[in-house]
Chain A
């Protein structure tokens, strides 16, 4: 089936099997291997991307369902959004500075879920951050620093300076 979608600002036209999952399309057809496959049961959130700006688990969306949509992966996050000298997105920068990752496997999904969270609520409390990231599991259990990173990024994007 023919599909057209925009991934990280680049248009893709393709012919895919209906059963192809969006995460497989992203990784195998569009080179977005920054989107990992974690649990394959829609629990872990490692494969979270933005679909038309909202977080989704890309293992639980068919590529054909994303026809006509715009997808943002971790590889497209910094483009046009870089605020620092290194061009990183504020959340990427905050995860780096707050040591918000250990093995790094959950990080792309965590960051994209956090982008959605801060779009919804630019000034969240710590509890709201934890609720908003409920669908993303960190197997290293490094949640403290992840939450701290999101709160720091919230402060840097709104200037509100939320305390961790």
Chain B
């Protein structure tokens, strides 16, 4: 299938990209294109202009910014799985990125694109939510920083204003004692998560001192499993205790019912997968 016609520009700087976007309200940003190009081919989207960020080298790569990592929006899923800084300080991101689609898609798809696309079944939104990352957005009025909760607004919808681009993701380095695991359920090798759980746990003296849990596909945006986090904090680092805490993983969520799973089943999956993810994160 062939997309409808559009104009195309590949600016060399963020400023030029923002200018091009701001001048045309029907313009769309393209990075790796792994979500956008299928939509264009199926003619679900009709942008008048594609602003390709591919020529903006400053948006590529991972930088050590002291107590955080600054990840350029154009960093591909493949690069996330291979980057030594990510492996050392934000391994959850590498592990989850390695579960996205397949190798060919991971070579093209970018972290900025995956977050801006804001698919509730996408993996990285829940991961940056659990990591308490800061999303850096640049627009005509300059740059601003926004939390994941402030960025993801609804199904396929973010709070990016017209002319704004997600330029980088700042991920706080995980300190000593933290473990992580991304647990994802999908019935076939190549499929979106029916439910995914991004878990972080800090272990101390045989107990879990602190836990952070982000849920994929348990609502129209990624959500924190706050009740399960609270239940895990201070609990003994055992599989039984983690399973018990995970019984509260679906509290406060509004999972969808669709052709692939009913809401009740998603709630069940969230509890089971959270138990597994917490146990792995806590090194059990």
Which residues of A come within 8 Å of B, CB atoms? Answer: 1, 17-19, 21, 24, 40-43, 45, 48, 51, 54-57, 59-62, 64-65, 67, 113, 116-117, 132, 134-137
Question: Of all chain B residues, which has the CB nearest A20?
Answer: B2
- Given contacts A42-B37, A51-B107, 17 further A-B pairs with CB under 8 A are A1-B8, A18-B5, A19-B3, A19-B4, A41-B38, A42-B34, A43-B190, A45-B102, A54-B78, A56-B104, A57-B105, A59-B41, A60-B34, A60-B105, A65-B30, A65-B52, A135-B102
CB distance from A146 to the nearest CB of B (A): 14
**A40-B1, A64-B8 are contacts. A56–B50 as well, Cβ < 8 Å?**
no
Please tell me if the beta carbons of B103 and A116 are within 8 angstroms of each other in the complex. Answer: yes
Report the separation of the CA atoms of residues A55 and B30 in the bound assembly, to the nearest whole angstrom: 19
**A60-B37, A62-B33 are contacts. A135–B2 as well, Cβ < 8 Å?**
no
CB distance from B8 to the nearest CB of A (A): 3
- 0 or 1 for each of B91-121: is its CB under 8 Å from A? (1 = yes): 0000000000111110110000000000000
CB distance from A119 to the nearest CB of B (A): 11
**Which residue from B4, B8, B105 sits with its C-beta under 8 Å from A62?**
B8
**Which residue from A18, A21, A62, A134 sits with its C-beta under 8 Å from B103?**
A134
Report the separation of the CA atoms of residues A59 and B34 in the bound assembly, to the nearest whole angstrom: 10
Report the separation of the CA atoms of residues A116 and B101 in the bound assembly, to the nearest whole angstrom: 16
Please tell me if the beta carbons of A21 and B2 are within 8 angstroms of each other in the complex. Answer: yes
Question: Of all chain A residues, which has the CB nearest B5?
Answer: A19
CB distance from A63 to the nearest CB of B (A): 10
B residues 18-51 with Cβ under 8 Å of A?
A: 30, 33-34, 37-38, 40-42, 50
CB distance from B263 to the nearest CB of A (A): 26
**A18-B7, A60-B37 are contacts. A135–B52 as well, Cβ < 8 Å?**
no
User: Is B189 positioned at the interface, with any CB of A under 8 Å from its CB?
Assistant: yes
Report the separation of the CA atoms of residues A55 and B101 in the bound assembly, to the nearest whole angstrom: 13
**A65-B52, A113-B103 are contacts. A60–B8 as well, Cβ < 8 Å?**
no
Please tell me if the beta carbons of B7 and A60 are within 8 angstroms of each other in the complex. Answer: no
CB distance from A137 to the nearest CB of B (A): 8
**Which residue from A45, A60, A134, A136 sits with its C-beta under 8 Å from B108?**
A60
